[in-house]
Amino acid sequence: MKQKRNMLPILLGILLAVVLVLVVIVFGAGMKAKQDEESVPQTESAVSAVQNETSVVSEIPSAEESSAVSEPEETKPLEGTEDFVIFGVDSRENNLGKGTRSDSMMVVHVDHETKTVRLTSIYRDCMMKIEGHDFNKAAHAHSYGGPDLAVQMLNENLDLSLEHYVTVNFITVGDLIDQIGGVEQDINDAEIEYINGYIDEVNGVRGTSSAHITTAGTYTLDGTQAVAYSRIRYTKGADYKRAERQRTILFKVFAKAKELDTIGRIQLAEKMLDEISTNYHTDEMVALLQDLSSYTMEDMTAYPQVFYGGSVSGKWYEVPVTLVDMASGVHEFLYGETDYEPSETVKQISKSMQGKASKANYHLTEY
């Protein structure tokens, strides 16, 4: 591993990519048309075990140390493509491993040739087969077996070949938006009806005292208000519109972060990088992310898009109708595979899933 002073020029280059990873958690809340009472235990042993299961990206130099470095270090451009998954957790103890559910999951496809990024989130209540736990909510895989089990679940249910993950704590998102001075956003009358309840909720989590928004108009939202805005789901279009709001905030934060000067970027990195946990080695993380600040976020979406949303065995689920169609859609969106044929494994899981709910009552593409 290179010494810290030699890493600084590269870390400055990867900072905006880290911003991207963090803000992706705004996609967080998943699709919860109903909140069930189930809770997966957050064990004390899991909190300590995370230190052995994950590697935290840290040791970013301070702004003062940066003055010792004058010339950026040249690196070889990346080639081909890269896939990884982002898990967003909501943990006041900053437990980023086993014992904490992933409130958001986003599969990221990076094309280094075209310099484009495509991202698709998987709703937390989506029914999936989890090894050792039968059919369950996708969010629970991370709690049952940490990121490794969650990655395995995504690979098995969607025919993916993911190896790497990045885990980020939800609370970090509000800090990030505060650090860049907030984002400007129009709030309409329908959103006013619900945003203040979410502001109160996020204030409680973050320990902030952000003000209510009482009339429609254009506002500079602070971290708490922006996260609250991104979580609104009761207006027309429900979670499909919420995903649109989240994309709007994501693009605005990403654009604003790119305007920071060098010192601002270093300070942002100091605050944020220690919140990321990953199974990438540090040098791999640097190689992957060093140029992403110049990449374009080409498109984003979420799955499942056609599903049964309701009670299955007394618990709320979003059951893909069908998992075969969902896997095909994911491959078409991420990789442009218009004629993708899911594996026999996916087909068998899908068949078993249809026995639990075979008729869709949500078609998000209609909004």
* pTM exceeds 0.75, yes or no: no
pLDDT confidence of residue 283: 58
pLDDT confidence of residue 271: 62
pLDDT confidence of residue 299: 85
> In sequence order, which residues have a C-beta less than 8 Å from that of residue 196 and are 6 or more positions away?
212, 213, 214, 228
Report the chain (367 residues): mean pLDDT per 10 consecutive residues: 31 39 35 37 37 39 43 58 82 57 82 87 92 95 93 98 83 80 94 94 91 97 91 72 72 72 63 68 54 70 91 92 97 97 98 90 71
pLDDT confidence of residue 275: 65
Pairing type for strands 81-89 and 165-169 reads parallel
Ordered alpha helix ranges (H), the chain = 4-23, 44-53, 63-66, 140-158, 171-179, 189-206, 223-230, 238-257, 262-272, 282-289, 323-335, 344-354
Q: Which residue has the tokens 């990953």?
A: 278
What type of residue sits at position 110? V
d(CA 315, CA 296): 39
d(CA 212, CA 193): 11
pLDDT confidence of residue 110: 86
How remote is the C-alpha of 239 from its chain's centroid?
Answer: 16
Q: Within 13 Å, how many C-alpha atoms sit on residue 1's CB side?
A: 12
> In sequence order, which residues have a C-beta less than 8 Å from that of residue 19 and are 6 or more positions away?
176, 253, 254, 257, 268, 272
pLDDT confidence of residue 82: 86
Contact 280, 288 (CB under 8 A): yes
pLDDT confidence of residue 210: 97
pLDDT confidence of residue 175: 81
Beta-sheet strand order (sheet of 296-303): 55-56, 276-278, 165-169, 81-89, 102-111, 116-122, 296-303
Contact 166, 87 (CB under 8 A): yes
For residue 71, give Cα distances in angstroms to 7, 74, 99, 262. 11, 9, 43, 13
**At residue 312, what are phi and psi to the nearest 5 degrees?**
-130, 115
pLDDT confidence of residue 117: 85
